[in-house]
Structure 1
């Protein structure tokens, strides 16, 4: 009996957490601005792309949320893109192995790897 009650409690908690996450993403759906970059802090002229489609925003947001912190201090080439998501700005690199690397512009000492980034890449490069 205790096992059944514990299972139901865990199941309900998981469902509530999942619903709350989805609700937060839905509430915070703001257009995403994407610029191609020449080098750090220099955007390529006339390359602004605004993503306002909900599905595309969720693809980008979920990719960023799934990024894994990489160890060590980054020594990295100039970024391919800059993404502006509300108050957050990121540099983005597209890698040849269908992964991506992302860095918060306010924390240039830390990079994050996005594995299985095919949807992210196709959304940004459309």
Structure 2
């Protein structure tokens, strides 16, 4: 009986620690800056959008972090958007098949695909 109570207490402690850690990590999320692009080197004037909603920031950050690396040579059209997420900068393409493609501006030889990106895209385009 004592062992069962000890195991239950440990599991509850782990669960509470995980929940508490998640709350703290969402409190300090930096706003995301979004600009429409004309070309790789030119932003469309007056299109800066700043996302400060913590849910939106977390959703976009999670989508970027879960993007899948695509193999092969990279030869991309001009990007639709530029995103500044924390200290990282990305080019973004919105695809007709409800996916998105991202490229870190510091690594233009690698692209990543965000699958099932409807919420991601709608948040960017609000």
TM range (shorter): 0.7 to 0.9
- How many Å separate the matches in 2 of 1:99 and 1:21? 30
- How many Å separate the matches in 2 of 1:107 and 1:25? 27
- How many Å separate the matches in 2 of 1:59 and 1:77? 26
Match of 2:74 in 1: 74
Query: For 1:29-66, what per-residue CA distance to the aligned partner results, in whole angstroms no more than 9, with x for missing partners?
Result: 11000000000021000000000001111111111011
Structure 2 stretches of 5 or more lacking a match?
1-7
Q: Is the 8 A contact 2:34 2:81 kept in 1?
A: yes
Q: Is the 8 A contact 1:64 1:114 kept in 2?
A: yes
Q: Does 1:34 find its partner at 2:34?
A: yes
Return closer, same or farther for 1:25/1:66 CA change in 2, 3 Å cut-off.
farther
Query: For 1:57-95, what per-residue CA distance to the aligned partner results, in whole angstroms no more than 9, with x for missing partners?
Result: 111111101100000121110000000012100000000
Q: Is the 8 A contact 1:80 1:91 kept in 2?
A: yes
Q: Is the 8 A contact 1:99 1:115 kept in 2?
A: yes
Alignment of 1:5-16 (within 5 A): none
- How many Å separate the matches in 2 of 1:40 and 1:21? 38
TM-score, normalising length: structure 2: 0.82
Structure 1 stretches of 5 or more lacking a match?
1-7
Match of 1:93 in 2: 93
Bigger Rg, structure 1 or 2? 2
TM-score, normalising length: structure 1: 0.82
- How many Å separate the matches in 1 of 2:67 and 2:118? 13
- The Cα shift of 1:114 comes to 0.2
